[in-house]
């Protein structure tokens, strides 16, 4: 589903990534952790195609859904308009309204479907940020701290949904500085010294 070999990225004199490699298979849920500034978010941006590596190769075998750590929404647009415009930008044939409403119900923000983003709580914005990454039914999900602003109920809903996506053959890569429930993952990786190391779930 995704294969990266020898990725490197430098900012000035600092090597954020050097010879970073990983493979993610269909139906696999993989976690990547690391300290602040270790290069986790840089890695995800490269994998999502938003940042060009200085070296290395990258191959994705499915459409990608990317949820960045920073909430990237437009204050003057409603939730419905976000789904409509994101679908237009992707030129996807997926029925955006049906899928958007399904995600809004699943993550409990359906009542604000026609509400402007500027009037939403931070938690609802975080839900929308995640839902937009799912709105074109991607085969590969790249999620950067996807549940950091969630309450406990939404956190549980997220993992329930992640398990469903995994059973459907989707691949998920989740980046976080810390994983509380490591048993949910098939594999855990760690970014250290610019490289990706395998961990053994405890």
| HSE, side-chain direction, 13 A CA sphere, residue 192 | 6
What is the pLDDT, as a whole number, of residue 145? 92
pLDDT, tens digit (0-9, with 9 covering 90-100), for 6-35: 999 999 888 899 999 999 999 999 999 988
Q: Strand 171-175 and strand 29-33: pairing?
A: parallel
Read out DSSP for 3-44?
Answer: EEEEEEEEETTEEEEEEEEEEE-TT-EEEEE--TTSSHHHHH
pLDDT, tens digit (0-9, with 9 covering 90-100), for 114-152: 999 999 999 999 999 999 999 999 999 999 999 888 999
Contact (Cβ atoms closer than 8 angstroms) between residue 44 and residue 142? yes
Q: What is the mean pLDDT of residues 171-198?
A: 90
**Domains with residue ranges and CATH for the chain:** 1-62+171-202 (3.40.50.300)
Classified as helix, coil or strand, 89 is: helix
- Share of residues in the chain with pLDDT > 90 (%): 75
What is the pLDDT, as a whole number, of residue 181? 82
Q: What are phi and psi of 136, to 5 degrees?
A: -110, 20
Our CA dihedral for 41, 43, 44, 45, rounded to 10 degrees, sits at: 90
For 32, 141, 185, the CA distances from 29, given in Å and listed in that order, are 10, 9, 5
What is the pLDDT, as a whole number, of residue 149? 84
pLDDT, tens digit (0-9, with 9 covering 90-100), for 148-181: 889 999 999 999 999 999 999 999 999 988 787 8
Please determine, for residue 46, whether its predicted confidence score (pLDDT) is greater than 80: yes
Please determine, for residue 94, whether its predicted confidence score (pLDDT) is greater than 80: no
CA–CA separation, 176 and 161 (whole Å) = 18
Tell me the pLDDT band of 200, cut-offs 50, 70 and 90.
low
């Amino acid at each position: 589903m995704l294969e990266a070999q020898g990725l490197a990225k430098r900012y000035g004199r600092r090597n954020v990534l050097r010879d970073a490699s990983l493979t993610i298979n269909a139906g696999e849920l993989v976690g990547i952790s690391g300290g602040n500034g270790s290069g986790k978010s840089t890695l995800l941006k490269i994998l999502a195609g938003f940042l060009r590596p200085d070296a290395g190769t990258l191959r994705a075998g499915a459409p990608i859904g990317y949820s960045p750590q920073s909430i990237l929404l437009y204050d003057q647009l409603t939730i419905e308009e976000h789904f409509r415009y994101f679908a237009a930008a992707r030129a996807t044939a997926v029925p955006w309204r049906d899928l958007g409403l399904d995600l809004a119900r699943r993550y409990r923000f359906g009542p604000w479907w026609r509400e402007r983003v500027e009037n939403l709580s931070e938690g609802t914005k975080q839900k929308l940020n995640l839902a937009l990454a799912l709105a074109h039914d991607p085969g590969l999900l790249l999620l950067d701290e996807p549940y950091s602003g969630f309450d406990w109920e939404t956190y549980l809903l997220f993992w329930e949904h992640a398990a469903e996506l995994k059973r459907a053959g989707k691949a998920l890569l989740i980046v976080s500085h810390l994983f509380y429930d490591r048993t949910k993952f098939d594999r855990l990786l760690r970014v250290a010294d610019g490289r990706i190391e395998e961990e053994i779930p405890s």
